[in-house]
């Protein structure tokens, strides 16, 4: 299937992935997991919502936990360049027949919310309350010392169409996995705005669902340390995959599940992609090194389980990708 071309003058300027809003069933338990085990910092909290951020972040929050009856992903948040970009985004959405709304969100400036054509619930903002970063507050470090939110990965029922839509918004393809043969279909794509491997990864599967969100850690040893912490705290069963090294993105990774099953990746060691002539890297869907450079395939849960978006029906994918699955 066709690989989208880079668009350097998109209709509005998305800077980077910013924050994720999750619905959780036990707010106290989820807070303890992300604050004490993973090591995020609570910025504000009450009995209905908790706002957390990582050590390097100046913004008020990169993870929002909301108390709810059922677990779900409520929103994926992206930061835009300035307030005018919100108006440009509204014009683009209107011209393309997509509904949107400007809403008031705590600790954020003017915020634009919309649902894309594939059911992913997005919000855009230009400004958020600022906080002093905690990078040098080593006395506050816990867990794996997460530094910043890095990316989102979603299950999309219509991978090619979803990739093309976000390419129109200026997301640039860095790597992709494709079936072999003359009519091979793209089964997964990694797209960025901030000059690393990805802000937004789009994976074939039942969708729309959130596959995972990821925080950057300083070193691979921080990720290994988190395994020890989770084992000591009784969270061994919550370690789903890794630690290991992806062929795709070159990242050292660990995937864990929170108390509601939302999937979190801890991530480090990808690479720079900011040059205007950076060419996407193709991977064969059957190459075992793409999943894990060392050759170990992912477990079945990694391909089948994800967090639905609030109020969105989950659709079967247009095709079933022939991927390598661990026994």
pLDDT confidence of residue 247: 92
Identify the helix (H) or strand (E) that includes residue 165.
Answer: helix 159-168
Quickly state the pLDDT bin for 182 (edges 50, 70, 90). Answer: confident
pLDDT of residue 1 exceeding 70: no
Quote the CA–CA distance of 215 and 193 in Å, as a whole number. 16
CA distance 202 to 159: 7
- H or E segment to which residue 327 belongs: none
State yes or no: pLDDT of 326 exceeds 80: no
Give percent above pLDDT 90 in the chain: 92
CATH number of 148-308: 3.10.180.10
Predicted pLDDT of residue 322: 83
Q: What's the chain's Rg over C-alpha atoms?
A: 19
pLDDT at 118 over 70: yes
Look at residue 264 in the predicted model and tell me its pLDDT. Answer: 98
Fold of the CATH domain 14-132: 2,3-Dihydroxybiphenyl 1,2-Dioxygenase; domain 1 (3.10.180)
Mean of pLDDT over the chain: 96
Summarize the confidence of residues 13-34 as an average pLDDT.
98
Q: Same CATH topology for 14-132 and 148-308?
A: yes
Structure confidence at residue 297 (pLDDT): 87
Average pLDDT over residues 296-325: 93
Contacts of 272 by beta carbon, 8 Å cutoff, 6+ apart: 195, 196
pLDDT digits (tens, 9 = 90+) for 194-227: 999 999 999 999 999 999 999 999 999 999 999 9
pLDDT tier at 327 (50, 70, 90 boundaries)?
low
- How far apart are alpha carbons 327 and 324 in whole angstroms? 9
pLDDT digits (tens, 9 = 90+) for 60-114: 999 999 999 999 999 999 999 999 999 999 999 999 999 999 999 999 999 999 9
Instruction: Give me the percent of the chain exceeding a pLDDT of 70.
Output: 99
Domains of the chain, by residue range, sit at: 14-132, 148-308
């Amino acid at each position: 299937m066709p690989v989208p071309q880079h668009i350097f003058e998109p209709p509005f300027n998305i800077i980077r992935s910013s924050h994720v809003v999750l619905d959780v069933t036990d707010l106290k338990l989820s807070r303890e997991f992300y604050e004490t085990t993973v090591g995020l910092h609570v910025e504000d909290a009450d009995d209905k919502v908790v706002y957390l951020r990582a050590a390097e972040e100046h913004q008020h929050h990169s993870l929002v936990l909301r108390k709810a009856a059922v677990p779900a992903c409520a929103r994926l948040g992206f930061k835009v360049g300035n307030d005018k970009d919100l108006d440009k985004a509204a014009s683009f959405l209107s011209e393309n027949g997509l509904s949107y709304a400007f809403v008031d969100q705590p600790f954020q400036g003017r915020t634009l919310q919309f649902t894309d054509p594939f059911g992913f619930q997005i919000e855009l903002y230009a400004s958020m309350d600022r906080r002093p970063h905690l990078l040098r507050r080593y006395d506050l470090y816990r867990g794996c010392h997460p530094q910043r939110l890095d990316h989102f990965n979603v299950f999309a029922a219509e991978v090619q169409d979803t990739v093309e839509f976000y390419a129109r918004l200026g997301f640039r393809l860095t790597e992709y996995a494709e079936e072999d043969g003359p009519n091979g279909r793209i089964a997964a794509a990694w797209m960025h705005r901030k000059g690393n491997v990805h802000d937004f990864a789009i994976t074939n599967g039942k969708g729309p669902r959130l596959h995972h969100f990821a925080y950057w850690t300083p070193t691979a040893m921080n990720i290994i340390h988190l395994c020890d912490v989770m084992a000591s705290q009784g969270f061994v069963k919550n370690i789903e995959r890794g630690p290991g090294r992806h062929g795709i993105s070159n990242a050292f990774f660990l995937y864990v599940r929170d108390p509601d099953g939302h999937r979190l990746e801890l991530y480090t060691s990808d690479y720079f992609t900011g040059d205007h002539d950076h060419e996407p890297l193709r991977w064969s869907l059957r190459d075992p090194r793409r999943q894990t450079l060392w050759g170990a395939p992912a477990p079945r849960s990694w391909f089948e389980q994800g967090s639905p978006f609030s109020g969105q029906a989950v659709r079967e994918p247009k095709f079933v990708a022939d991927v390598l699955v661990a026994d």
